[in-house]
Amino acid sequence: MSVLNISYAGLSVDFTLESGANLTDGDVRRIALEAVRRGGVQGMAFPQLAETAFDQYVVDRFTAPSGDRRIYLRPKVPFGGRRSA
């Protein structure tokens, strides 16, 4: 089991996945898009969400020492890269 955290429109919510193993970044974006569109994410429902809403989002993956998998789908940020001061 994995937990997908989706950040969108100032909200951040968790969505439980049956399995997060072997998911590509594209798979994660597609799953999030469909879950948010259909209202399957507690507190986040945007039925008219554009097909490209998560195209530029970053997918981060972490595994806790306990083995729990967390996947974060978040917008890119303008700091922290090579060009930051």
pLDDT at 12: 93
Q: What is the DSSP code (8-state) at residue 80?
A: S
- Domain assignment present for residue 83? The answer is no
Q: Would you give per-residue pLDDT tens digits along the chain (85 residues)? A: 889 999 999 999 999 988 767 889 999 999 999 999 998 888 888 989 999 999 999 999 999 888 889 999 999 887 655 654 4
Examine residue 32 and state whether it is found in any structural domain, yes or no. yes
User: Which residue range is the domain that position 47 belongs to?
Assistant: 2-74
How many domains does the chain contain in total?
1
Among candidate residues 2, 31, 41, 4, the one with its CA nearest the CA of residue 19: 2
Strand order of the β-sheet with 2-8 is 11-17, 2-8, 69-74, 58-63
Residue 82 lies in a domain: no
Q: Is residue 38 part of a domain?
A: yes
Residue 79 lies in a domain: no
Sequence length of the chain is 85
Task: Please report whether residue 80 resides in a domain.
Answer: no
**Residue 34 belongs to some domain of the structure:** yes
Query: C-alpha angle 80/84/85, rounded to 5°?
Result: 130
Is 25 a member of any domain?
A: yes
